């Protein structure tokens, strides 16, 4: 939080903070008071099986705990100012991603779905990236859901969803507008 305070003291720049669900929801208010404008809490995978296989440490925090934290965070930062990164292509089905995305949207959370990209030298360097059909099967209906809920990446004050460089999701929002 000291970093957010220092940045805000030096420049008037929108900031996104990122964290895991805190043990105490009061942390969200502290972050907001420190000058954080938007918040990212990143699920990365949506089903317990994929979470346990891909990120066993992070999977110890259940999706249900994330959902509770998302509701608390939206109460502080506002609808559309809380987002989560979801990596498509790690093993979650389009249906599972879309189902949880609908729940997130109902809470006021922007589900930023991006394709998994393997990186050399990492344990998943040989894991295949999802193909364009797989991504379209998620992003097209997700764009419609976001549009119907009036959640748009362009309304996010700061962060990954606002930037959008890692996903074509924003173009699917626009295509359904």
Q: Residue 1: its pLDDT value, please? A: 81
Distance of CA 31 to the CA centre of its chain: 18
Q: Is residue 175 part of a domain?
A: no
Alpha-carbon distance of 76 to 14, in angstroms, equals 16
Triad 161, 144, 98: Cα angle to 5°:
75
Q: Is residue 177 part of a domain?
A: no
pTM of the model: 0.95
The domain containing residue 159 runs over which residues?
Answer: 2-115+127-170
Q: Is residue 31 part of a domain?
A: yes
Alpha-carbon distance of 53 to 59, in angstroms, equals 9
Reported confidence tier of residue 175, pLDDT bands at 50, 70, 90: low
Alpha-carbon distance of 142 to 101, in angstroms, equals 8
Q: Is residue 155 part of a domain?
A: yes
Exposed, middle or buried: residue 114 (CB in 10 Å: 0-12, 13-18, 19+)?
buried
Q: Residue 58: its pLDDT value, please? A: 96
User: How many domains does the chain divide into?
Assistant: 1
Instruction: Give the torsion sign (CA, 48, 54, 60, 61).
Output: negative
Report the mean per-residue pLDDT for the chain: 96
Q: What is the pLDDT of residues 4-27, one digit of tens each?
A: 999 999 999 999 999 999 999 999
Distance of CA 97 to the CA centre of its chain: 12
Residue 156 has pLDDT above 70, yes or no: yes
Residue 133 has pLDDT above 80, yes or no: yes
Q: What is the pLDDT of residues 22-56, one digit of tens each?
A: 999 999 999 999 999 999 999 999 999 999 999 99
Q: Residue 39: its pLDDT value, please? A: 98
Q: Is residue 25 part of a domain?
A: yes
Alpha-carbon distance of 1 to 26, in angstroms, equals 13
Residue 176 has pLDDT above 60, yes or no: no
Q: What is the mean pLDDT of residues 64-85?
A: 98
CB 160 within 8 A of CB 170: no
Bridge partners, 141 (sequence order): none
Alpha-carbon distance of 44 to 58, in angstroms, equals 10
């Amino acid at each position: 939080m000291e970093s957010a305070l220092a940045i805000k003291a030096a420049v008037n720049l929108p900031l996104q903070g990122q964290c895991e669900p805190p043990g105490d929801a009061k942390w969200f208010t502290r972050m907001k008071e420190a000058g954080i404008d938007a918040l990212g809490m990143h699920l990365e995978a949506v089903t317990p099986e994929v979470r346990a296989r891909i990120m066993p440490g992070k999977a110890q925090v259940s999706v249900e705990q994330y959902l509770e934290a998302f509701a608390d965070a939206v109460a502080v930062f506002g609808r559309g100012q809380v987002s989560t990164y979801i990596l498509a292509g790690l093993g979650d089905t389009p249906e599972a991603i879309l189902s949880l995305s609908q729940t997130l949207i109902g809470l006021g959370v922007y589900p930023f779905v991006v394709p998994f990209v393997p990186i050399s030298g990492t344990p998943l360097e040989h894991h295949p990236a999802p193909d364009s059909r797989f991504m379209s099967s998620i992003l097209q209906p997700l764009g419609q859901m976001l549009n119907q809920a009036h959640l748009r990446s362009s309304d996010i004050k700061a962060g990954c969803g606002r930037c959008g460089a890692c996903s074509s999701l924003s173009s699917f929002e626009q295509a359904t507008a």
